[in-house]
Structure 1
């Protein structure tokens, strides 16, 4: 879900503000894995980093499935 919020906020400009609001509401998400350390994901932080780089509206030319 965090990946989706990040992608929508950066790639789709009409829904940018809404995605940022939702990312702030969701907050930090903890991912628990079996044999590895848990990781913490923060979508609003990731979105802000991309905005600082000037990547708003960025779309990938090639997508892997």
Structure 2
């Protein structure tokens, strides 16, 4: 009987250790995907909130906006 109790304690200990090692799921939900826009100058796609806005469209950088718009 004492071996059965000892085996049960060992199995519970192994189960508890395995539960502690599992990675925790991320707590926050993934955000909505960002809208991608193409740079008018080079065609590179960048997220809309990172794009530089110009009079002729969206650009991937300030340098491309200056080059394309003059």
Q: Return the structure number with greater relative CO, CA threshold 8 A, min gap 6.
A: 1
Which structure shows the higher strand fraction?
Answer: 2
Quickly name the TM-score band, shorter chain normalised.
under 0.3
TM-score (norm 2): 0.21
Which structure shows the higher helix fraction?
Answer: 1
